[in-house]
A and B are shown apart, each in its own frame.
Chain A
Amino acid sequence: MGAKRPVLHRQVADRLWFCVWLPQLPLEANRSSEAATAIVEEQHGIHRILLADAEASAAGVMPGQAANAALALLPTLQLEERSLLREQQALEGLASWLERFSSFISIADHDVLVLEIAGSVRLFGGLQELRQRMSKGLRELGLTAALAIAPTPLAATWMARAGRRACIRDDTNLGAALRKLPLFCMDWPAGLCEALTGMGVTTVGDCLRLPREGFTRRFGAEYLLQLDRALGHLPDPRNSWRAPERFCVDYEMTEEQTDRKLLLNICRELLLSHEQFLLARQLGTQRVCFSFFHLKGPATELRLGCARAERSAGRWLELLGIRFEQLVLPGPVIAVRLRSGMAQPLQAESGALSFHGKPGATAPRFSITQLAERLIARIGDQSVQAASMVAEHRPDYAWRSQSLLADWSGTTLDTPEQSAQRPLWMLPEPALLPADSGYPVHQGCRLRLIDGPERLETGWWDEDGISRDYYTAAGTDGRRLWVFRNRNRTSSWYLHGYFG
């Protein structure tokens, strides 16, 4: 394949790719117990073994076997249906964990991740150190992985698949190392590999020795392209993978639990990983939501809110503690999910300057936002409110209440000073008063009108226009009431507030 090779451009020596191949991923992502497990996949209507763990393999369970045959060999065998979704989740979980090693991570295949690490080598104290850290971390995550380092992503992938603990830093060594690799590591279709083997081609080197034109004609340009990319003759652009900026993690249990202490501990674990997630991005969030899943019935949800973006597990745990006591779980819990709200950049808090700090003075235990958060956590978002004014003549519309979690600064409007006195207590809805010869009656006594009327006739532009005469009335029980008479045909009396 010598003569018509593409012109060698500046090669990829300034890039170094680290490949993580997870050969056991289907098994590791799908297994649910410690017992001997095999993963099955449906092929042409028959469930066949895809992968078996060591214990099952020792009993003779082999990939490709029918599920029944495997069960005959090992009756205690745990069969798990393969879930590509779960594998994808596991892979993405690993990718987000790997983000600590590199800023460029790409999911190359359903079981392959590649990282660009040229820039990270120095930071982590050399390739060996980096590699050791990574293998240690992967072991702790419970994943079996093959690692390889090469100047191109494809070369790294192939070496990892071939099981070579290779570490090639130079382009010059790349060709020689690749040539020795067997065919299967390229993960080409089985038919193609068979055809090549039939021709006596068994290694990557053999492929490269074939004439380029003939290779393209017989097998397609795609595979030649792959070879060129692996050798670094052609650029191999990759998509960078980014962890989603929203945290959503499930904690699944093997059996249903009712122990609240245990559940709280699981929530704590989730909050800690949530904190890690946000810390890596310098973000915080204002809301988190816990879902407690039951085998039967809908999940129980528990939402927590903070007035400011927050990531500290301690703060969330404090809020959770207040709410968790009262949480009613309709049944035992099988899984817990933590979902965070929109992540936002954390605002740094400036410490207060104290010029005249009195020696005896004590700082407030917590700020108003913290107080509001505590109250909201226990009695609910809608129950804690701030109020502000609205420039409006209709008494019902002259104010509004808003949630304390909203940005409450600067919402109060400066309205011109009203001359007429308003009552301090307002009824939620005007209450109809009976009338006695044209005068309103409250609690069995005719009211004496002592001030008024103040005519409010406005709001014609929307559905809720009013036309009322407001009076101050004195009741016999000493209360002063704010009453009005509708100026429509019914002209009935209503009580709207007390002067308190």
Chain B
Amino acid sequence: MSSSLDKILANPRVWRGRDQAGRRAGLASGYPELDRHLPGGGWPRESLTEVLTEHYGIGELRLLMPALARLSTETSTQDFTEPGWIAWVAPPFQPYPPALQQCGIDLSRMLIVRPRDDSEILWSAEQALSSGTCAAVLLWPSILDDQASRRLQLAAEKGRSWAIAFRPLAARRQPSAAALRLELHPDGQATRVHILKSRGGRPAVITQLL
């Protein structure tokens, strides 16, 4: 039964939406509950992810830390390249190095950029993404229109880097080229995650995540 099903699925004329993004394995988020809802079983690398929150500091960093820690220490076994850098563009507060180290981030491969205005934030993020040396670029733009998100998405693909934009909840209504859009809500002591948009996946709500 299963073998005949496999045969049908192996037929190139059968197109499955999930496979589009799922062909590339995702980056395990460290939260199995979340991974199950993401196409490819993890964060979509080489694309733009948007995280929408009402305030900064409700768990948006904790959500990303396991994946970032792996990125910052993991050496690719295929071409023995060094692990990539993690760039923080315009963080709202100071990312605190002792806490980052507790989470397993390699501080010597971290870059903090504090641009003066919006155009510089996008420019810096685009430079970092397309440079090919940053494994992940975290950015806090105050505005990010459709066109800018498309540029970031392209830069991420070009530099094979993971872009994560943190935005206020109000940005939910704006169109975006991001491959994945999440919304974070505090839920008692835990956090509720809404998957608003997921390329190759489905919207979902995950309660009690963090």
Q: Which A residues are within 8 Å of any B CB, using their own CB?
A: 354-358, 361-368, 370-372, 374-375, 378-380, 383-389, 395, 398-399, 401, 404, 408-409, 411-412, 415, 417-418, 421-428, 474, 477-481, 497-500
- CB interface residues, B 122-139, toward A, < 8 Å: 123-124, 127-128, 130-134
Contact B79 A387 (CB under 8 A): no
- CB interface residues, B 83-109, toward A, < 8 Å: 85, 91-103, 107-108
Q: Which residues of A contact B130 (CB under 8 A)?
A: 365
Q: B110 in the interface, Cβ–Cβ < 8 Å?
A: yes
Most buried by B among A361, A363, A386, A481: A386
**Nearest residue in A to B94 (C-beta to C-beta)?**
A426
Partner of B133, one of A362, A364, A386: A364
A426–B187 Cα distance when bound, in Å, is 23
A410–B98 Cα distance when bound, in Å, is 16
Q: Assess A387 versus B56: contact at CB under 8 Å? Given A424-B100, A499-B62.
A: no
Partner of B78, one of A358, A380, A500: A358
Contact B108 A401 (CB under 8 A): no
Q: Which residues of B contact A356 (CB under 8 A)?
A: 78-80
Q: B186 in the interface, Cβ–Cβ < 8 Å?
A: yes
Contact B94 A425 (CB under 8 A): yes
Partner of A399, one of B54, B97, B116, B128: B97
Contact B115 A383 (CB under 8 A): yes
A471–B61 Cα distance when bound, in Å, is 20
| B156 vs chain A, min Cβ distance (A) | 13
Q: Which residues of B contact A398 (CB under 8 A)?
A: 97-98
Q: B12 in the interface, Cβ–Cβ < 8 Å?
A: no
Known: A500-B56, A500-B60. 12 other contacts (CB 8 A): A375-B113, A379-B113, A385-B111, A386-B107, A423-B99, A424-B100, A424-B103, A425-B96, A428-B93, A428-B94, A477-B186, A478-B58
Q: Which residues of A contact B60 (CB under 8 A)?
A: 500
The 3 closest A-B pairs by CB, nearest first: A478-B186, A498-B57, A364-B132
| B66 vs chain A, min Cβ distance (A) | 13
Q: Assess A379 versus B115: contact at CB under 8 Å? Given A374-B127, A386-B110.
A: yes
| A446 vs chain B, min Cβ distance (A) | 17
A74–B157 Cα distance when bound, in Å, is 72
Contact B98 A399 (CB under 8 A): yes
Q: B114 in the interface, Cβ–Cβ < 8 Å?
A: yes
What are 8 of the A-B contact pairs (CB < 8 Å)? A365-B132, A367-B133, A385-B112, A387-B112, A388-B108, A395-B96, A425-B95, A500-B61
Q: Assess A497 versus B96: contact at CB under 8 Å? Given A386-B111, A386-B112.
A: yes
Contact B78 A422 (CB under 8 A): no
Q: Which residues of B contact A378 (CB under 8 A)?
A: 120, 123-124
Contact A375 B124 (CB under 8 A): yes
Q: B30 in the interface, Cβ–Cβ < 8 Å?
A: no
Contact B79 A361 (CB under 8 A): yes
Partner of A424, one of B96, B108, B124: B96
A318–B26 Cα distance when bound, in Å, is 36
**Nearest residue in B to A410 (C-beta to C-beta)?**
B108
A358–B96 Cα distance when bound, in Å, is 37
Q: Which residues of B contact A362 (CB under 8 A)?
A: 132
A404–B185 Cα distance when bound, in Å, is 36
Q: Which residues of A contact B100 (CB under 8 A)?
A: 424
Q: B55 in the interface, Cβ–Cβ < 8 Å?
A: yes
Q: Which residues of B contact A415 (CB under 8 A)?
A: 98, 101
Partner of B112, one of A401, A426, A500: A401
Q: Which residues of B contact A481 (CB under 8 A)?
A: 57
| B60 vs chain A, min Cβ distance (A) | 7
Q: Which residues of A contact B112 (CB under 8 A)?
A: 384-387, 401
A411–B128 Cα distance when bound, in Å, is 23
Q: Assess A388 versus B127: contact at CB under 8 Å? Given A366-B133, A398-B97, A425-B61.
A: no
| B151 vs chain A, min Cβ distance (A) | 16
Contact B111 A384 (CB under 8 A): yes
Q: B39 in the interface, Cβ–Cβ < 8 Å?
A: no
Partner of A422, one of B96, B111, B127, B186: B96
Most buried by B among A385, A401, A424, A477: A424
**Nearest residue in A to B106 (C-beta to C-beta)?**
A412
Contact B187 A365 (CB under 8 A): no
A380–B113 Cα distance when bound, in Å, is 10
